[in-house]
Amino acid sequence: QVQLVESGGGSVQAGGSLRLSCAASEYTYRRNCMGWFRQAPGKEREGVATIRTGDGSTYYADFVKGRFTISQDNAKNTRYLQMNSLNAEDTAMYYCAAAFICPPRPGLSAHAYNYWGQGTQVTVYS
């Protein structure tokens, strides 16, 4: 059964932090790669961070490097996106996604991912 459920979104003041969670079914969690993506109104979906299940290697979009951290808890079949130093440009719907076949590194293209969660809204206000 394919299932991805995001949580942890909300409204936060600029400079603040949020931690997003992506709970997966066992079947989905074992897919080779997982990514966090975001989409703001009127903009295309963009890759934020990815992680490879096998070796835990991580990759980040330039605009979040040093601020966001992707991680995983294999015992809970859950992956996280810790977001620090948030700014208004980070406001978007955030999605987690899983891919059977890992795309070429850094794997930030949404087209490569087979399964998607419903999304969680992040709003950053000043």
Name residue 28's amino acid.
T
Q: Which of 113, 91, 125 is nearest to 22 (CA)?
A: 113
pLDDT at 31: 75
Three-state SS at 64: helix
pLDDT at 93: 98
Task: Compute the average pLDDT of residues 84-98.
Answer: 97
For the beta sheet containing 4-7, the strands, ordered from the edge strand earlier in sequence to the opposite edge, are 4-7, 18-24, 78-83, 68-73
pLDDT at 3: 86
Given a cut of 90, whether residue 32 has pLDDT beyond it is no
pLDDT in tens, 50-83: 999 888 899 999 999 999 999 999 899 999 999 9
Cβ neighbours around 106 below 10 Å, total = 15
- In whole angstroms, what is the distance from residue 71 CA to residue 21 CA? 10
pLDDT at 28: 78
- Pair 68, 98: CB distance under 8 Å: no
**To the nearest whole number, what is the mean pLDDT of the chain?**
93
Task: Compute the average pLDDT of residues 80-90.
Answer: 98
Give residue 27's pLDDT band: very low, low, confident or very high (50, 70, 90).
confident
